[in-house]
Amino acid sequence: MQGSGGGNARRAGAAGSRPKACPALGVWRRCDPGDIAPATVAEVERSVAGAALLLHHPRWPEALRGDPAATVAAAVDVLRRHPPGTAAADLAMSGLLVHAARGDAAAALVLAHGLAALARRHPRPGALLDRAARWAPRWPGRPRGRPMPPERG
């Protein structure tokens, strides 16, 4: 991912309130799409680029150069091989977040799927499923409502 802009990984709060801290590689699972400021996206992007050696995938170098399709391909493979919430999944999902926040529909859809997969493993899945639904409508062909969590295998 090509580094850009400055700023801390923070969640935008209500007008006049202090933003809530949101660690960069956890933004994808902790922050809603409308709460992620451009400076936070840039911080996530820098964090993904800085952790590049942690993810060994043939498309990852292209993803780090800013290719959304390569990021989606790598994330799909990572989600198939690593449980959501692992370091590899956090890295891949954070790469997706950068593209999804900038309007890439495929990245938003796979990000929603990753959130739904994480919800299946979480004791209180409701908030994660709701967050997944807020990302999923960014894909125009998807019906409204919560995404279906993946089946446990």
Q: What is the residue type of 144?
A: R
- What's the CA gap between 118 and 32, in Å, rounded? 15
Residue 124 backbone dihedrals phi, psi, to 5 degrees: -125, 85
Residue 18 clears pLDDT 90, i.e. is over it: no
The continuous run of DSSP H or E covering 90 comes out as helix 87-101
Looking at residues 45-69, what average pLDDT do you find?
A: 86
| Cβ atoms 132, 146 nearer than 8 A | yes
For residue 5, name the pLDDT band (cuts at 50, 70, 90): very low
- What's the CA gap between 98 and 66, in Å, rounded? 9
Residue 8 clears pLDDT 60, i.e. is over it: no
Residue 36 backbone dihedrals phi, psi, to 5 degrees: -100, 110
Q: Who wins on pLDDT, 9 or 59?
A: 59
| Cβ atoms 104, 94 nearer than 8 A | no
If you search the block for the tokens 């590689």, which residue do you land on? 25
Q: Please write the tens of the pLDDT for every residue from 74-110.
A: 999 999 998 887 888 999 999 999 999 999 999 999 9
Residue 20 backbone dihedrals phi, psi, to 5 degrees: -85, 135
CA-based Rg of the chain, rounded to a whole angstrom? 14
Q: Please write the tens of the pLDDT for every residue from 102-152.
A: 999 999 999 999 999 889 888 888 888 998 998 887 545 544 555 555 555
